[in-house]
């Protein structure tokens, strides 16, 4: 019989709050990387996603992702928990035996929120806000919710296959990374005026956003233990050491390759370590986490170089860091957690293919109703003024 545990409940609620902070943190991270004329629009992407997907999740997203499996197919949940009906103070034997079912739904809500927020870095500085709204709602419903059910839902087909994903390497990072790459290719490269700089406009904002993401990631990974126990403690330390090693490796490689230990590169390396340890956090030792952080950082660095040669304007390198980093972490989970490589490769491949094709289809549908991209003149003027009639800096 299930019994509520006060310590577990407090930890999961606190972890949900930590993960919630990550979405506006992504806004600061991305906002610092774009040009001054697009800062507010970029921040607005993350803040708006927090509002939109929170409501979507409560109304129908949660039941599609975690509801009882529809006809035993392992593809999608049924509508038993539509509007969070029946999701209350009592525990749930399948997902949350020691915490309120509502606490589990809340914790998972924050994962559903941050995933489409990550995609926005791929099409930064050029997407029309109305198109962004429709795309985010459709993508969360048609991509995130089914994929979450495949991997984490009771009876999901990838879960039955034995694929391991402790906190979202495939569900969050592979799905969003591939979607960002497709969106960047679909919309085409950004326009640049003669006086536009390609450098981040505010690296202090980038560092703040990255630090807040790192802070929130402790809830992201350690909270996925769903209990205040030893697994949470191991996931917590694994998160920290993988990020630290990722930062050190990227800095060292970039120092050798480009001649300077850049702040932006060190931040990117830390993010790679965080992304890669996510699927393995509760399954591996700290020593393995350090190795995962190192390997992922090196692989992601090479992916950035490849992306540059491909001339696809994934504006803020979402695919090289989240897509490639998530895939590397998922595969390395099979190596270090002993689950075998076949289920891990199957999960990465299935999620990547589905997210890619579905993202293309959703963008194609949205563009029939709303232009995806702002006009030439609007893009040169900036999204802050043209999409929101405001500016981030009143005295620029």
> What domains sit in the chain, N to C, each tagged with a CATH number?
6-388 (1.10.3430.10)
How far, in Å, are 4, 114, 309 from residue 97 at the CA level?
7, 25, 50
The pLDDT of residue 352 is 98
Q: b/e string for 113-152 if b means 16 or more Cβ within 10 A?
A: bbbbbbbbbbbbbbbbbebbebbbbbbbbbbbbbbbbbbb
pTM: 0.96
pLDDT at position 127, please? 97
The list of the chain residues with pLDDT below 70 reads 1-2, 194, 395-396
Q: Can you give the pLDDT at residue 394?
A: 80
* The predicted structure's pLDDT at residue 1: 46
What pLDDT does residue 331 have? Answer: 97
**Per-residue pLDDT, 2:** 67
pLDDT at position 395 is 65
d(CA 303, CA 296): 10
User: Taking a C-beta distance cutoff of 8 angstroms, is the pair 21, 215 a contact?
Assistant: yes
List pLDDT tens digits, range 248-294. 999 999 999 999 999 999 999 999 999 999 999 999 999 999 999 99
| CA-to-CA dists, residue 122 to 52, 169, 187, 236, 323, angstroms | 19, 18, 10, 29, 11
């Amino acid at each position: 019989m299930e019994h509520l545990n006060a310590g577990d409940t407090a930890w999961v609620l606190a972890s949900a709050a930590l993960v919630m902070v990550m979405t506006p943190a992504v806004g600061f991270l991305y906002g610092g990387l774009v040009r001054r004329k697009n800062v507010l629009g970029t921040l607005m992407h993350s803040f708006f996603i927090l509002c939109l997907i929170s409501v979507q999740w409560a109304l129908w997203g949660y039941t599609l992702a975690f509801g009882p499996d529809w006809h035993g197919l392992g593809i999608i949940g049924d509508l038993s928990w539509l509007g969070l009906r029946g999701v209350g103070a009592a525990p749930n034997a399948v997902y949350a035996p020691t915490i309120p079912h509502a606490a589990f739904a809340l914790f998972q809500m924050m994962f559903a929120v941050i995933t489409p927020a990550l995609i926005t870095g791929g099409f930064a500085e050029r997407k029309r806000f109305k198109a962004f709204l429709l795309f985010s709602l459709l993508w969360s419903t048609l991509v995130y919710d089914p994929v979450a059910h495949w991997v984490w839902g009771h009876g999901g087909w990838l879960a039955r296959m034995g694929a391991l994903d402790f906190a979202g390497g495939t569900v969050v990072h592979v799905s969003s990374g591939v979607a960002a790459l497709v969106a960047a290719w679909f919309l085409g490269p950004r326009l640049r005026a003669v006086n536009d700089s390609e450098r981040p406009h505010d690296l202090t904002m980038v560092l703040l956003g990255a630090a807040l993401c790192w802070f929130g990631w402790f809830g992201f990974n350690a909270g996925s233990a769903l209990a205040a126990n030893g697994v949470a403690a191991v996931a917590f330390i694994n998160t920290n050491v993988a990020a630290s090693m990722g930062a050190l490796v990227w800095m060292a490689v970039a120092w050798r390759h480009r001649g300077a230990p850049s702040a932006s590169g060190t931040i990117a390396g830390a993010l790679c370590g965080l992304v890669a340890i996510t699927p393995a956090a509760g399954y591996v030792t700290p020593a393995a986490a350090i190795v995962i952080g190192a390997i992922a950082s090196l692989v992601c660095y090479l992916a950035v170089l490849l992306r540059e040669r491909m001339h696809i304007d994934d504006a803020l390198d979402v695919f090289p860091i989240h897509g490639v980093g998530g895939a590397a972490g998922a595969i390395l989970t099979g190596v270090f957690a002993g689950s075998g490589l076949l289920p891990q490769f199957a999960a990465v491949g299935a999620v990547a293919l589905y997210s890619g094709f579905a993202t293309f289809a959703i963008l194609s549908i949205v563009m029939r109703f709303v232009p995806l991209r702002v006009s030439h003149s609007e893009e040169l003027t900036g999204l802050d003024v043209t999409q929101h009639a405001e500016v981030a800096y009143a005295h620029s």
